[in-house]
Amino acid sequence: MTTGFQGIPAAIDLIHILDTIEVPIVFVRRDFVIACFNKAAADGLGLSAADVGRTYRDVSVLARLPRLEQQCRQVIADGVEWRADFRDGDRWFVVRISPCSIGDRPISGTVLTFTNVTAFRASTDQAIYEREFTKAILNTVADPLVVVSPDLRIQSGNRAFYTTFSVSRDETQGVPLDEVGNGAFAFRTLRAQFEEMLAGRHAFQPVEVEHVFPRKGQRTLILGAHPLSVPGHSQRRVLVTFQDITARKQAEAAKDLRSEKELRRSEAFLTEGQRLSLTGTFSWKVATDEITWSEQLYRIYEFEVGMPVTLELIRTRVHPEDVSLLEKMKMVDQARGGSNDFEWQYRLLMPDHSIKYMHAVAHATRDRDGQLEYIAAVQDVTVRRISEEALTRARTELAHVARATTLGTLTASIAHEVNQPLSGIITNASTCLRMLDADPPNVDGARETVRRTIRDADRASDVITRLRALFGRKSTTTESLDLNEATREVIALSLSELQGSGVILRADLGDDLPLVTGDRVQLQQVILNLLRNAADAMSGIDDRPKQLVIRTERVDDDGVCLSVQDAGVGFAPEDIDRMFDAFYTTKSGGMGIGLSVSRSIIERHRGRLWAARNDDQGATFAFSIPCAPDTKPRPAVIEPEHAMGKP
Amino acid sequence: MAKRSLVSVVDDDESVRESLPDLLREFGFEAKAFASAEEFLASGYLEQTRCLILDIAMPGMSGQDLQEELTRRRQKIPIVFITATGDETVRPLVLERGAVECLFKPFSEKALLGALNAALSVA
């Protein structure tokens, strides 16, 4: 390398020194010919020994430097250094062009140094990018954010900060935070808290502040503060955050109000429901014996609301003959290991000796800890129970009245049946006496009248026998009986009454009837009742025969049916449902209980009683009851419609 | 000997139809028995009958029906009702409608004679 340097002590190996410098250095003469360069220029810019003596235009890297020639001339002319950034591919350099003179000679050229700033440039770019990126993010945050100095002076805020508080960046820059927003944040503890926080004693406790905004009205904000410190930097800043919780607060308030209202309403519903239904509830934690009663249950037991409930207390109310629900639960619990639902009925004996009837339903559950807990509903069914009892009493009375009414009719029938032969007996005896008293006595005539007297006496005796058959048994006996025979007895007893009413009775009794099981007298009462009803239905008929047909027949394979068909006034289709109700009657003199009692008798015989309107005139009342089990015919061939069951 | 008065008996009960005419004949009356009101009306003995002994409860026309029918036909036959029902309410009813007497079965010979005398004195 040719050295152009003069006056430098030879002892100093200048070139060697330059070569140790990592910054590429190139000497360019004023004629733009490259004089020399150091090792770094060869390594970093790709210059070679051949480049010495060439003009810069022939050296690619120098040729790429924009306006190099003009800049060099300027530097030589002014004697002042010039520098510029230079991008070469992906590398960045700071190029410094300095005037170069040796000794006191005029400037003979320029020295170009290339400081590689690629890494620095990249990190700066990255920092700028990151800063802009962060700024963009912060500006998208809806909540206002502002960075303040430790003495609360505003440094910068995000977009939300400026828009929310309707202030500009310029007017707030350096202004203490407690002076913006009309002093909304000038609360007493703000600065004290800042000091505590910055001293590292404790974190800033978020503060709820009310702020009235010009357009939005009053808003509730949560003000928070977080110290910002960057390692290696002593300067401290604080990020102040604002969170608008107005909507959330309103929603919560509304929700609280709503849920409270709902809760209150459902509580009111429950209480009212319990009051109306006379139902109380209680829970019982088995392990701890903790019992909770509803108000209504206190009212049912007639204890003061809120009294501690114990088994002993309950026992003072439960009827001595009954076991309380709780004790029942305990028994069940022990017997079955708990966890089952059950129902229980018991009575309460109140201090005034009145009785209350309780119906309880209990349900076992397990709480979160797996402990057994019973939830129970206890209903005061006293009123229902009393009315049920009254109803039963009324039914019994009605049945008695019905029986008495039927008996009254029977008595008349019996009287008629007995009086007829008695009348014959007396008449015959009177005739007989007269014939024997005659002169000469009419012995043959007397013999004939005596014969007739005996016959009439036999007839009276038959009536008594029939009555024995009808009433001589226990009233509740269930036996196998022949429905035809029972029917014939009823016909015999009521025939005169029916005939007296002008009724023409036809009996059509099936001859293959199986025996039925039942109470003979009760069934005969039903038959008698149906016959009387039929006769009554025809009492006002005078334009057609008062035809009455009583029929028995086998139905299906397992029952017998008895029907009574009249030609009377019939009934309206809408009456069919009410006809069997107690006290329903179409007869002015009737009590209307015959059919309801009849139906209950038939139902007790596992049968049914029904009514149908005849095609032409009148109605047919019928009942069917199952035949006695051992007389049920063996089904030889079951026809399909029988197997399906007839409607 | 004066012609005997005819007493007709209408009753569906056979023992009455057999026994009562015999007793009536012992009393000295002529007697005829009919099993129903219809049979009596069709018999042709209406004019001759001086007294009618009539059962109340009969199939078809009842005794009261026959009483009405005779009134309608202006046949003023004295009627003595007989009934086995023992229903006391029927007696004032038939007497009001012109019957001479209403006897409840079984009735005595004396009661029957009393009724017959009353009937024949009316006629």
Q: In Å, how far is B92's CA from the nearest CA of chain A?
A: 18
Task: Tell me the per-residue pLDDT of A263-284, one tens digit each, with 9 for 90 and over.
Answer: 888 888 888 888 888 888 888 8
Asked if A425's CB is within 8 angstroms of B62's CB, the reply is no
Band (A459; pLDDT cuts 50, 70, 90): confident
CB contact under 8 Å between B18 and A412, yes or no, is no
Residues with Cβ within 8 Å of A145's Cβ and at least 6 positions away in sequence, in order, are A138, A157, A158, A160, A161, A239, A240, A241, A242
Q: Which of the listed ranges A2-6, A196-200, A407-411, A642-646 does the model predict with the highest average pLDDT?
A: A196-200
Residues B64-117 have pLDDT tens digits of 999 999 999 988 899 999 988 777 888 898 899 899 999 998 899 999 999 999
Strand order through the sheet with B30-34: B30-34, B6-10, B49-55, B79-83, B101-104
Q: How close does chain A come to B13, measured CA to CA in Å?
A: 7
For residue A535, what is the DSSP state? H
| DSSP strand pairing (A504-509 vs A547-555) | parallel
Does the beta-carbon distance from A496 to B84 stay under 8 Å?
yes
pLDDT for A316-329, tens place per residue?
888 888 877 777 66
Closest of A377, A206, A416, A193 to residue A296, by C-alpha: A377
Q: What is the pLDDT of residues A608-621, one digit of tens each?
A: 999 888 888 899 99
Cβ separation A500–B12 shorter than 8 A: no
Of the candidates B19, B86, B87, which has its C-beta nearest A424's C-beta?
A: B19
pLDDT on residue A634: 43
Residue spans of the domains in chain B: they are 6-122
Higher pLDDT, B112 or A497: B112
A391 pLDDT above the threshold of 80: no
| CB contact (8 A) between residue B26 and residue A499 | no
Q: With pLDDT > 70 as the criterion, what percentage of chain A qualifies?
A: 84
Q: Two tokens at A619?
A: 């109605």
**Would you call A502 an interface residue with chain B, using a CB distance cutoff of 8 Å?**
yes
The residue to which tokens 């009348």 are assigned:
A423
Determine the Cα–Cα distance for residues A518 and A535; give it in Å rounded to an integer. Answer: 26
Pairwise pLDDT comparison (A121 vs A500), residue with the higher score: A121
The helix/strand/coil state of A441 is coil
Helix axes A443-471, A382-437, angle to 10 degrees: 170
Give the rounded distance of the alpha carbon of A90 from its chain centre.
71
Determine the distance in angstroms separating the CA of B7 from the nearest CA of chain A, rounded to an integer: 15
| A107 contacts A28 by C-beta, under 8 angstroms | no
Establish, for the pair of chains A and B, how many residue pairs have beta carbons separated by less than 8 Å. 94
Predicted TM-score of the model (pTM):
0.36
Contact (CB<8Å) B26/A435: yes
Element (H, E) at A275: helix A246-276
CA distance A633 to B113: 62
* Share of residues in chain A with pLDDT > 90 (%): 11
Chain A nearest C-alpha distance from B82 (Å) = 10
How far, in Å, CA of A186 to CA of A178, rounded?
A: 4
Query: Considering only CB atoms, which chain B residues are within 8 Å of A431?
Result: 19, 22-23, 26
Residues 103-162 of A with CB under 8 A from B: none
**Measured between alpha carbons, how far is A435 from A447 in angstroms, rounded to an integer?**
9
pLDDT exceeds cutoff 80 at A623: yes
- Its ipTM equals 0.86
Check if the beta carbon of residue A571 is closer than 8 Å to that of residue A619: yes
Chain B CB contacts of A448 under 8 Å are 22
Q: What is the per-residue burial (b if ≥16 Cβ within 10 Å, else e) of A510-543?
A: beebbbbbbbbbbbbbbbbbbbbbbbbbbeebee
**What are the chain A neighbours of B16 within 8 Å (beta carbons)?**
420, 423-424, 427
Residues in CB range of A119: below 8 A, 6 or more apart: none
A409, A411, A413, A417 alpha-carbon torsion, rounded to 10°:
180
Min Cα–Cα distance to chain A from B112, Å: 10
Contact residues on chain A for B102, CB-CB shorter than 8 A: none
Q: Which residues are within 8 A (CB) of A249 and not within 5 positions of it... i.e. 6 or more apart?
A: A220
State the pLDDT confidence band at A5, using cuts at 50, 70 and 90. Answer: very low
The nearest alpha carbon in chain B to A431 belongs to B23
Task: Report phi then psi at A264, rounded to 5.
Answer: -60, -40
Q: How far apart are CA A349 and CA A320, in angstroms?
A: 8
Percent of chain B with pLDDT over 90: 65
Q: Return the CATH architecture of domain B6-122.
A: 3-Layer(aba) Sandwich (3.40)
pLDDT at position B49 = 94
From chain A, pick out residues whose CB is under 8 angstroms from the CB of B62. 500, 502
Which stretch of DSSP H or E encloses residue B84? Answer: none
A304 or A646, which is more confident: A304
Higher pLDDT pick, A121 / A399: A121
Structure tokens at A121: 């440039």
Range of A300-309, A395-404, A456-465 with top mean pLDDT: A300-309
Q: pLDDT, tens digit, for every residue of A413-440?
A: 677 778 888 999 999 999 999 999 988 9
CB pair distance less than 8 Å for B58 and A504: no
Alpha-carbon dihedral sign for residues A583, A588, A590, A596: negative
